[in-house]
Structure 1
Amino acid sequence: MLLSGGPLERRSISDEVYARLQNAIVSGELVPGQLLRDYELAERLGTSKTPIRHALDRLADIGLVQMQRNRYTRVAPIEVDRVRNAVDLFGDIWIGSVRHVMPLVEDDDIAYLIDLSDDLAVSAGAANVETFGSALRTIATGFARIEGNSARVTVIDLLSPQIRRFGQHARSAIDWTSVESFASELRRSLNDRDAVAVRACLVTLFDDLLPAAIARASLSPSTE
């Protein structure tokens, strides 16, 4: 259980609580609508209520928790429109990095990005939504770090949990064959250092494959 991962480290209790609760929500251990009581969470995590409250505030900021002061705190429902917006912004950020990175990319950077695209392909081939979501975040972050744009990294970190959580609930709606083809084409484009082709791959993912998966999943009661 993600909420039972051992004692918290004193050096960053608030961050550790935030990470544990975020992972529990993303994985579905904490389900949409579930009430979150600070004293219960504090007992389970072996900490005081203060870092729990701080973590819940941060989770509310990124849309994973809903709060009504003096009424309730609960896991937020999955809102399809919010997921669409997160996916759109994630794609815009990544494509923006491509525009800046590809003209000046070094050999070691290309090798690094190709390795990350291989991780994407393996995850897609296995239809593993958890590792694919992680690999997608890692390669997008990789582009932003090569660019030297910490603001992009920060926004990617904020958007990723919302997208990953949706993926957990909508894994059967994903066209994994097409996603695997995307990952393979991305690798070829990176190897060729073809900025136009890299951008085209990302446009296919963010304008076609992911929106189609969201549309299919939005018809399923599992995402309500």
Structure 2
Amino acid sequence: MTTFTRIRINPRHRAARHALASNERIHAIVQRAAASGSPDANQPRTLWRLDPGHATHALYIVSDDYVNAAVIQEQFGAELSDIATCSYDPFLGQLATGQQWRFRLKANPTKSIGSRQPGIRGKRIPITKQDEQIEWLTRQASRCGFHIPINRLDVPEVIVRDSGAVSFMRQDRQVTLHSAIFDGFLAIDDPAAFRQALVTGIGRGRGYGFGLLTIVPVPRPASDDAATGA
């Protein structure tokens, strides 16, 4: 069973301030909260994403079991009413070819630079230009069972809302990953591949807050509501 969890976090709470200070801390808390009694190497990695807000932050988690609410309450200072969790499977089962959704993805776009020496693996570097980040997303989409529609201006229906470096300490060394947040619209081409992307994530850095794709219905135009009397 796959579960989807949303947690409202008060960033002014002392426990939350400590936890949110580092992606490594959030990673450790999420792994502890999502840990099942019998680890399985074949289970997908737990995904998470933090969406900061003015008064409240939202933490989303996709895991293979229900999260331990006690861990979340203790480590983030959250109330039980701040934690909403459910089985993801019924929603995943309703996804179909041709459906269109609004989406958000916080990703770590990278590319590999080939090595001049035979047998030596190329170096992986971040993609920092927005047009190249969108090209990266388009390539990922084709592998993950969806595409980004093209609008009347002949550009993809997606924007890079935020882009920059994220640094944190891991085992006494600094780790820096480049972040890009994509907001836009998508259309499903291959439901099975798309479900897999929702459960296992997209791109690199998935243990550290990257790769979790979330979708919501596309709002109906106001003219449609007026026509139907809704």
Normalising TM by the smaller chain, what interval?
A: under 0.3
Larger % of strand: which? Answer: 2
Q: Output the TM-score relative to the length of structure 2.
A: 0.26
Q: Output the TM-score relative to the length of structure 1.
A: 0.27
